[in-house]
Amino acid sequence: MTIPTEPIGSIPRPAYLLEALGEHAAGRLDADGLDEAKEKALVETIKRLEETGSPVITDGEQGKPSFATYPLAGLDSLAPDGVVIPFADGHTRQLPRLTAGPFRYQTHAASYLREAKKYATKPVKQAVIAASAISLVYSGEELAGYSKEQFIADLVNEAEADIRGSLDAGADSVQIDFTEGRLSLKLDPSGGLLQSFVDLNNSVLERFSEEERKKIGVHTCPGGDQDSVHSLDVDYAELLPTLFQLKVGNVYVQLASEADPERALGVIAAHSRPEQRVFVGVTDPIDPRVETAEEVRDRVLQAARYIPAERLGTCDDCGFSPFADDTSTSREIAFAKIAARVEGTRLAAESL
């Protein structure tokens, strides 16, 4: 038997691309020069991901400003003082705030996919940001002439187009990033905010056929950034039952960094639906130590005691630089962890 294994998304960008980004921001490098550096990094990243043996790859998000904000890059009607995301070590990330409507994505994920497919020899999955995350750019005060209801209608249309465009462009699968799910329980322990997020995302997913949803998944994690997280202290048992209400065929669950994976697996077993494949995280991007293939194997075999092997897959807990933090984890460590995931998953499949 085989067990599917997939990366989640981002890979730290090489030094030459970071230098090019800085030079471009300073006005010393034109757009063509920056594009050349991005293309070089994309080609190198795809080559190295394929060399790990991973049967499915991503573009490593080499050209994205971040996993969360790529649809907004270039949108004029934004102010910088949006929702603040606090991390456990005290640092924060801040989303922009919408100042006027109508709302439209400036960039769709399919544009990154089409570039990756030029160079990939293996299937490419595409990550997209959840509608629920983008909904946070509309503040509590209504905008003149543009209501929250109008914004949500536009957002659902744009989120559908983001997913559908990726499927139409040949994505092997589409992964919806939903790190705000666990965070929502920190902001609202009652679970009301989480349920509203799931309902919003389902209003997008309901526009796809049952067959299409088999190729759509959702990823949850506690929001890694700069070797810290924003919601690992939130009990997984509060999130997972609601998470599995999402109308997707695949669920990618951070697990390697979980303090009590057995407990989490028990909740997953109780609430995942028979038609859903569960990809369990078997490598921790925040931990600088590279897992051995045997450690990965044992984590997979542990998960197989709760999840039927035919519904089991493996992944990394999270991307390795989701907020464009390219220094906390090195490219070398990222590729080594991915190689360990691939080999450990193979060993587990042999055992099973």
Q: Which residue has tokens 């992964």?
A: 175
Q: Distance of alpha carbon 69 from its chain centroid, rounded?
A: 12
Bridge partner list, 126: 174
Q: Are strands 250-253 and 216-220 parallel, antiparallel or unpaired?
A: parallel
Q: Whose structure tokens read 């509060």? A: 238
Residues of the chain with pLDDT under 70: none
Three-state SS letters, 60-109? CCCCCCCCCCHHHCCCCCEECCCCEEECCCCCEEECCEECCCCCCCCCCC
**pLDDT score for 331:** 95
What is the edge-to-edge ordering of all strands in the sheet holding 5-6?
5-6, 312-316, 277-283, 250-253, 216-220, 174-177, 126-129
Q: What CATH number belongs to 5-351? A: 3.20.20.210
* Spatial separation of the C-alpha atoms in residues 279 and 282, rounded to whole Å: 9
What is residue 286's predicted lDDT score, i.e. its pLDDT?
93
End-to-end CA distance of the chain: 8
Q: What is the pLDDT of residues 75-125, one digit of tens each?
A: 999 999 988 888 888 888 889 999 999 999 999 999 999 999 999 999 999
The pLDDT, as a whole number, for residue 311 is: 97
- The pair of structure tokens assigned to 140 is 């509590």
CB 231 within 8 A of CB 221: no
Place of tokens 């471009």: 24
Nearest to 219, CA basis, from 4, 7, 8: 8
Contact 218, 247 (CB under 8 A): no
**What is the rounded distance in angstroms from the CA atom of residue 255 to the CA atom of residue 250?**
15
Length of the chain: 352
Tell me how far CA of residue 104 lies from CA of 182, 207, 284, 312, in angstroms. 26, 18, 35, 37
In this prediction, residue 254 carries a pLDDT of 96
Q: How many CB atoms sit inside 10 A of residue 89's CB?
A: 11
| Token pair belonging to 89 | 């070590």
CA gap 3, 56 in Å, rounded: 12
pLDDT at 117: 98
DSSP letter assigned to residue 291: P
Q: Tokens 């070797």 correspond to what residue?
A: 227
Q: How far apart are CA 77 and CA 106, in angstroms?
A: 11
pLDDT of residue 223: 81
* pTM for the whole structure: 0.95
Across the strands, what pairs with 175? Answer: 127, 217
Collapsed DSSP state (helix, strand, coil) of residue 246: coil
- State the DSSP code for 252: E
For 189, the token pair is 């322990």
